[in-house]
Amino acid sequence: VDAQSKEFTQYRVSVSQIVPQTVSSTPVTSHTTSPRSSCSRKKDAPKSSSFKALEWQVWRRYNEFVELHRKLCAQHQSQAGGGPSPSGTNIAGTQGRFVDPEKLPRLPGKAIFGRSFNEDVVEARRVALAAYLKAVLDDPHALSSIHVLSFLGLMSTSREPETVHTKNNGLHNHSSSTNNKEEVDDALRPVIHIGQLDSYLEWGDLVLFKSDNAVSGIQRAVTSAEWDHVALVVNSEYSSG
């Protein structure tokens, strides 16, 4: 999702459950979004749209909870110290609004080696992590934090403008020359969740996309095209929007 988007501030995110995965000791968090209000279109298209609740799962290890807390603490300390807000940590228009880590419950301690799969340890950790994540989402500024959005799977931070990874040439600086311009350009494109498309599209827009299957891949290779499908956004009487 484009880091400049403000759409997520209009949503509520709730955690329906945290399920421990005993094989990898990785808690699975299931999230649901529901709109606070309808998202209005531009003035020349006064049609309003409402979104159905989205449900998805993300896999997060205990260390990722620890890293999230560390980043939230760094944000808060920077603000408390009167320093500049860390760049790339909040969506546009919400700078200076950080989750207060002092109001969050303590994360469970690291389990003694060999006890991570103990049922009592797993259950205690599940309860503690669920309480922590609920407290994070209860903070009014939670959905302004890129760290929180990324942790929940609502935003991708893997496509930074300064440096990108390409499959063939590894790490590239955005300002450096490269023969894989198309690959780098693709890595720099903002990621938009499919549930947010209605906020970005208008009637008459053309949407280019590529399918993740072998036939479409062969089609792109034969035609030397970057995309394999095109769609036109129309106002249909059968549309639910």
* CB atoms near residue 174 (< 10 Å): 13
Higher pLDDT, 37 or 207: 207
Contact 89, 70 (CB under 8 A): no
Contacts for 234 with CB less than 8 Å, ≥ 6 apart: 203, 204
Mean pLDDT computed over every residue of the chain? 66
Q: H or E element: which one contains 166?
A: strand 163-166
Calculate helix-pair angle for 62-80, 119-138, nearest 10 degrees: 30
If one compares 111 and 131, the residue with the highest pLDDT of the two is 131
130/160: higher pLDDT = 130
Q: What is the pLDDT of residue 166?
A: 44
Q: What is the pLDDT of residues 196-224, one digit of tens each?
A: 677 677 778 888 877 888 888 888 888 88
Answer whether 137's CB lies under 8 Å from 129's CB.
Answer: no
Tokens 């997520």 locate to: 8
Q: How far is CA 94 from the centre of its chain?
A: 17
Q: Which domains does the chain have, with CATH numbers?
A: 7-152 (3.30.1520.10), 169-232 (no CATH)
Tell me the CB-side half-sphere exposure of residue 122, using CA atoms within 13 A: 16
What do you get for the CA distance between the two ends of the chain, in Å? 21
**What are the beta bridge partners of residue 11?**
35
Provide the whole-model pTM: 0.51
* Residue 99 · residue 72 · CB < 8 Å: yes
Residue where the block lists tokens 């980043």: 71
Banded model confidence at residue 195, pLDDT cuts 50, 70, 90: low
pLDDT tens-digit readout, 126-151: 889 889 999 998 888 888 888 888 88
